[in-house]
Amino acid sequence: MPSHRNASLKVLVVEDSKVVLKGLCNYLERMGIANPLTAETGLAALEVYERERPDIILLDALLPDIDGFEIAKRIRAKEHPEEWTAIIFLTSMSKDEDLVHGITAGGDDYLMKPISQVVLQAKISAMRRLVEMQRKLVDTTHQLNAANKELQRLSTTDGLTGIANRRMFDELLMREWRRCQRAKKPLALVMVDVDFFKQYNDTYGHQAGDACLQAVAKQMARSAPRASDVAARYGGEEFALILGDTEIDGAVWVANYIRQNIADLKMAHKRSPFNHVTVSCGVAAIVPSDKATPNELILSADHALYLAKEQGRDRVAGMGN
C-alpha cells in the first residue's frame, strides 16, 4: 500500500537499461513515489542531481560513460554541509571487494540484480527514515543556531534601550583599544549622563523614565554610524560612546551633537532648571599604548563628565592627551 510520506520523497533512478529503468519506476510508483526522476548515463545523473537535489538515488554501478562509483564520489563532493543524499547501488557484482568499493565511494547500501520489489520497498523505507532524521536534524540545528544567536544578542544588549550593555561595552572598548594601539590612532570616549534623572523619575514615574532613557539611547545610536563606533548603556541613566580613530576635538563635536539633539526633543522636565530633559557629556581621548589602560580612558571621561555637571550641566567638557 502506498505511503503518503513517500509522496514527499524525491528519488532518482540511474540505469542504462530501459527495461530495468521502467520496472524500477513502476515499483516506486506503487510505493507512492510519484514521478521518479530518471537518468540513463552518469553525466545525465549528475545534471539531474545538481538541478533536483534528490533524497535517494538508485545508482547502477555500471554505466556506459562513467561508472556508478565515480558518480557517487562526485555527488558526495557536491553536497553542501547540511545535505545528505542516500545512495543505493544497483549491481550484479557479488564480491566482497566490490561491495566495499561501493561503500567507500560514497554509497549507503546496495541492491543485487535482479531487483525484488519487496526488497526495494524495504530499502526505500529504511532510507526514508534516515532522510527524515536528516531533515529533523537540520531543522533542529537551525533552531539551535537561531536560539544561540538570540541568546548572544540578549547577553550583549541592554533590555530596555536595545543598545549595547555594559558587558558589550567592556569587550568592544578593549577591542578598539587594541586596534587603535596597533594603528597608533587616537581612541575617544564620550560619557553621557541624563541631568536630574532621579527627579524626572520621581515626577513622571518609571514608565516615563524608561521612555526617556530609550529616547536618549536612540540619539546615542544615531551618533555612532561607523562600524567601530559603539553606543552603550553604561549603567542607570549613564551612557557611553566609543569612537575609534577620533581626536578629542572630533569627539567633543559628536558629544555636542548628541547634547543638542536630546535638548531639541523638548521632553518636559519641570524639576530641571532647563524645563526639559538635558544631558551632560564628558569626553576623553588618548592614543593607546602599553603605558596606559582602557580604565584610564574611562576615568578621564568620567572626570570630564563631573566637570560638565559642576559647570552647570547641559554641556560638554573634554580632556585629551
User: Which pLDDT score, from 0 to 100, does residue 138 have?
Assistant: 82
| Band of residue 249 on the pLDDT scale cut at 50, 70, 90 | very high
pLDDT-derived band at 4 (thresholds 50, 70, 90) equals very low
pLDDT of residue 1: 44
What values do phi and psi take at 121, rounded to 5?
-60, -40
Mean pLDDT of 50-59: 93
Tell me what the mean pLDDT of segment 204-229 comes to. Answer: 92
- Give the pLDDT of residue 8: 76
- Band of residue 154 on the pLDDT scale cut at 50, 70, 90: low
- Higher local confidence (pLDDT), 111 or 249: 249
Class of 166-320 per CATH?
A: alpha beta
Of residues 96 and 248, more confidently modeled: 248
Give residue limits of the domains in the chain.
4-148, 166-320
User: Order of strands across the sheet with 230-235?
Assistant: 230-235, 238-244, 187-194, 279-286, 316-320
**Which residues, 6+ apart, have CB-to-CB distance to 239 below 8 Å?**
163, 191, 192, 193, 216, 217, 220, 231, 232, 233
Q: What is the mean pLDDT of residues 262-278?
A: 96
| pLDDT confidence tier of residue 228, bands split at 50, 70 and 90 | confident
Quick one: cell of 314? 547641559
The pTM for the full model equals 0.60
Torsion of Cα atoms, 189 then 195 then 197 then 200, to 10°: -150
- At which residue does the C-alpha cell 578621564 appear? 300
Assigned C-alpha cell, 230: 559603539
What percent of the chain clears pLDDT 90, i.e. is strictly above it? 65
Number of Cβ atoms within 10 Å of the Cβ of 206: 9
The reply to whether domains 4-148 and 166-320 share a CATH topology is no
Specify the range with the lowest mean pLDDT, choosing from 79-88, 142-151, 173-182.
142-151
Smallest CA-to-CA distance from 214 within 265, 260, 254 is with 265
Lowest mean pLDDT among 80-94, 169-183, 184-198, 301-315: 80-94
The mean predicted confidence, pLDDT, of the chain is 90
Provide the pLDDT for residue 131: 84
- Does residue 223 have a pLDDT over 80? yes
Q: What is the pLDDT of residues 137-153, one digit of tens each?
A: 888 878 888 877 767 76
pLDDT reported for residue 321: 52
For the segment 39-47, the average pLDDT, to the nearest whole number, is: 93
Report, as an integer, the average pLDDT of 242-267: 95
Tell me, what's the pLDDT at 82? 82
Q: What is the mean pLDDT of residues 199-219?
A: 96
Which whole number is the average pLDDT over 92-102? Answer: 73
Region 255-265 average pLDDT: 95
pLDDT at 94 over 80: no
Averaged over 198-224, what is the pLDDT? 94
Contact 191, 282 (CB under 8 A): yes
pLDDT (0 to 100) of residue 115 = 87
Q: 4-148 maps to which CATH number?
A: 3.40.50.2300
Q: Among 291, 280, 286, which Cα is nearest to 319's?
A: 286
